[in-house]
Chain A
Amino acid sequence: NAGVTQTPKFRILKIGQSMTLQCTQDMNHNYMYWYRQDPGMGLKLIYYSVGAGITDKGEVPNGYNVSRSTTEDFPLRLELAAPSQTSVYFCASGDSFTDTQYFGPGTRLTVL
């Protein structure tokens, strides 16, 4: 099992550009999450999904969009990138039986 994979690992965007952060899990988990982590801070929930076709906002959803067309994939879309979106983005999948979350390696995004 690869677990949770994220691409790309690093990205630099210019203000106003758009991009999609990819996240895939191979553990057949229903729950998936996107977090952002700013330096020295904990993780903030952006969006989450409890199953294919179902998504909902977290604490900090503004400037982001998600979709969940399959159990495996949960891409995060940034439209009109802003410097405030410079952060490390983590995707996680959740096992609803054990209430455990499994995190990907993260994407480090810089917006200049």
Chain B
Amino acid sequence: SQKIEQNSEALNIQEGKTATLTCNYTNYSPAYLQWYRQDPGRGPVFLLLIRENEKEKRKERLKVTFDTTLKQSLFHITASQPADSATYLCALAFSSNTGKLIFGQGTTLQVKP
């Protein structure tokens, strides 16, 4: 079965630095990959989507890369701020007909002022 791995350890960085989060998967390449942000006690919020034929996507201070050879996605937050502190979830879709997602366990980011 498909397995998705994100760093289970929390990532602590200083304000202003770039945070880099990793998402690795096994077996088949997904049709697309998404990143969500989740704050404590809240539902996930969509951030970015990258498709299998795309290498990189950007949105403001966010950047996602997708390497189907390495079976890995990297999620970058540049000029990080304390307000970026949250859990970030990686999710993979293997069919665009249903939109079904398989989620990683998430990585918690803590940005210190």
Given contacts A90-B43, A103-B45, A105-B43, contact A31 B99 (CB under 8 A): yes
Interface size class of B (residues with CB under 8 A): 20 to 34
Q: Contact between B105 and A40 (Cβ–Cβ < 8 Å)? A: yes
| Alpha-carbon distance between A94 and B97 when the two chains are bound, in angstroms | 11
Q: Give the distance in Å from the alpha carbon of A93 to the alpha carbon of B68 in the complex.
A: 28
Q: A43-B44, A90-B43 are in contact. Are A99 and B99 (CB under 8 A)?
A: yes
Tell me whether B55 is interfacial, beta carbon within 8 Å. Answer: no
Report the minimum CB–CB distance from B8 to chain A (whole Å): 8
**Complex alpha-carbon distance, A102 and B46, angstroms:** 7
Interface residues of B in 63-113 (CB under 8 A from A): 89, 93, 96-106
Q: Which of the listed residues B6, B34, B96, B103 has the most CB atoms from chain A within 10 Å of its own CB?
A: B103
Residues of B within 8 A of A100 (CB): 34, 46, 49
Contact, CB under 8 Å: B44 / A105? no
Q: Is the CB of A48 within 8 A of B100?
A: yes
Q: Using CB atoms and an 8 Å cutoff, list the residues of chain A in contact with chain B.
A: 4, 31, 33, 35, 40-45, 48, 50, 56, 58-59, 90, 92, 94, 96, 98-106
